[in-house]
Amino acid sequence: MRIRAFRAGVADSVRNSLKELRRSAGAAGLGGVVLDVRGNPGGDVGEAVLIADTFVGEGVLVRTRGRGGQILREERATQAATDDATKVVVLQDHRSASASELLAIALQDHGRAKVVGERSYGKGTVQDVIGLDDGSVLTLTIARYFSPKDRLIDGVGVEPDVAVADMATQPEAALRAALTAL
């Protein structure tokens, strides 16, 4: 499944696609799914959390920490309709950022997915945008995102379990590596 950006409704689309894939697989069963977030710049963090919640039954999916490391918020998995049987691989590259990194690291930390590809971009900040009277805007970083195992994302990125070289020149090789990781 290719996820180009996290917009409203993408989590529902992923869940519906999973249902259709299971239906199509029939008695043979679904061998696994590749969530392809290559080049995904992020978007609605809530949608990434909903997708992670699809595959994780309990525990923290993402947390935000403010000044001094204080936990400001934790998003937790819910047991309802959790798919804990389907094998999952997240395919990422160096342009995968923000919400796509949150999805990858949540699934990786919970042991629900292998991450394949390159180290991701490393954008894990919560920002507040304030409009000014002259029409300009001021963007303030007010918190940072952390993984379920409390790993920092910002400036670090998500390290893949299976590294793939030359992804830009050989995108098919990256997909083959993801399928092999299933």
Annotate the chain with three-state secondary structure.
CECCCECCCHHHHHHHHHHHHHHHHHHHCCCCEEEECCCCCCECHHHHHHHHHHHCCCCEEEEEECHHHCEEEEEECCCCCCCCCCCEEEEECCCCCCHHHHHHHHHHHCCCEEEEECCCCCCCEEEEEEECCCCCEEEEEEEEEECCCCCECCCCCCCCCEECCCCCCCHHHHHHHHHHHC
What does pLDDT average to over the chain? 95
> Catalytic: which of 93, 120, 123, 154?
123
Q: Is the pLDDT of residue 170 over 90?
A: no
Annotation says 109 is catalytic: yes
Annotation says 161 is catalytic: no
Tell me the per-residue pLDDT of 18-72, one tens digit each, with 9 for 90 and over: 999 999 998 888 999 999 999 999 999 999 999 999 999 999 999 999 999 999 9
Q: What is the pTM of this model?
A: 0.94
Across the range 81-104, mean pLDDT stands at 96
Annotation says 93 is catalytic: no
> Catalytic: which of 109, 114, 147, 154?
109
> Catalytic: which of 36, 53, 98, 147?
98
